[in-house]
Amino acid sequence: MATYERKDRFYHQAKARGLPSRAGFKIEEMILRHRLVRAGDAVLDLGAAPGGWAVVLAKAVGPRGLVLAIDLEPLAKGAPNLRAFRGDIHGEAAASWMGEQLEGRKVQAVCSDMSPKLTGIFFKDAYLSYELGVKALEVAQRWLQAGGNFVAKLFPGEEFPEYLKKLRNHFKTVKVFEPEATRKTSREVYVLGLGWKG
């Protein structure tokens, strides 16, 4: 059985590059392999704390792009094109804030690294992650422009095929991806939806 190794090479590389967490390497790989975001894009980053994805996304979209990061926990300081909101993604305050930031526009990508508080009971954790994945998709339905991209983290369980089916109804292409930086002991996967049908 694989052992949990918190301070592996990705941990040390994150520290060396000044990234808030190793998670930055996961979104970086998805950007490189699947063109998830491009320069000038506006992006929603859900479940953003401590900021590993947000920092990488801000660099990827560049100074003309915008990253709106939302989490219940505070984020580390970010780039000038990164704006953070602390609160519930489904709260009215978050929706009002996003509307103010976007000024009537929609985003080109919705990226969710939201994770439930893990119980260690796999079927329960899988279901809770499925619920968060559905919430992320609901956010995409409101804010994602036609042709845009989506990614959400899930722990595949009984509901996983249903989730893939939901995404195939909304996106031209759906992929399941396991980034290299994912810990060997983790069961998480990332589901990508490319080309929002609108």
To the query of whether residue 153 is one of the catalytic residues in this protein, the response is yes
Q: In 3D, which of 156, 158, 159, 157 has the Cα closest to residue 191? A: 156
CA 192 to chain centre: 10
59, 106, 153, 166: which is the annotated catalytic residue?
153
Cβ atoms of residues 111 and 34 within 8 Å: no
Total H helices, total E strands in the chain: 6, 7
* Residue 109 Cα distances to 35, 94, 185, 186, angstroms: 11, 17, 29, 25
Give, in degrees to the nearest 5, the angle at Cα 185 between 181 and 186: 65
- Active-site positions read 153
